[in-house]
Amino acid sequence: MALALKATSSRIIVEPSILRTMSLIGAPLLLAKTYNNVTMEKDLGANSLSDELSSRYIRSKVLTLISRSKGRELIENKLLSMGLSKEEAFTSILALSKSYDRLFISRPFARTIVKDLGLNPSPPLIILVDSMRRGIIQPKEFSILYEKMSELGEGR
C-alpha cells in the first residue's frame, strides 16, 4: 500500500517488452496517457518499427528515441553475460546516462540485476497503479487490466 503514496512519474524509460505487454492486455496507449515523456533506446526503437504498436508510438512522437553513446560495448557485454537480454541491457545503460523518474523492466530477474547497478526499476504493474492514481483508469478497469497482466505473468 505504501506504493500508492509515491508521486506519479512523468519521465519514463521503457524496454520494448513493456509496450508489447500493454498492447496484449488491451491498453496499448496507456503509457502515453499516463506519462509525459516515454523514452526508449534508439536502436531498440528502430527494431520495434516492425511492431505496429511501437511504430505507432514512434510515428506519433510519443516515444522519444535516444541514441546509444559510444564506447559502451564493455558494459553491454558484461550485462549480457549476467543474463540480461539485449533490450534489458540497452535500456539499463540508457537509464544510467539519462535523467528519468521511472525505469520499466519486465523480468523480475533483470530488475534484480539492474538494482545492483544502482537503478530503481519498476514492474509493469506500476503503470496501472500510476494510471489509476491519475484518474486515467478506474478501479474496475485496474482490476481487469491487472488480471490480464497476471495471466501473462507480467504483474510482478
Residues 38-90 have pLDDT tens digits of 888 777 765 655 555 555 555 555 556 666 666 677 888 889 999 999 899 98
**156: its cell numbers:** 510482478
pLDDT of 105-139, one tens digit each? 999 999 999 999 899 999 999 999 999 999 999 99
Secondary structure of residue 100 in the 3-state scheme: coil
DSSP string, 58-90: HHTT-EEEEPPPTT-HHHHHHHHHTT--HHHHH
- Are 83 and 109 a contacting pair, CB within 8 Å? yes
Identify the pLDDT of residue 139.
95
DSSP string for residues in 134-146: TTSS-HHHHHHHH
**Which option is the CATH number for 11-152: 3.30.390.30, 3.40.50.1010, 2.40.340.10, 3.30.70.141?**
3.40.50.1010
Q: What type of residue sits at position 42?
A: K
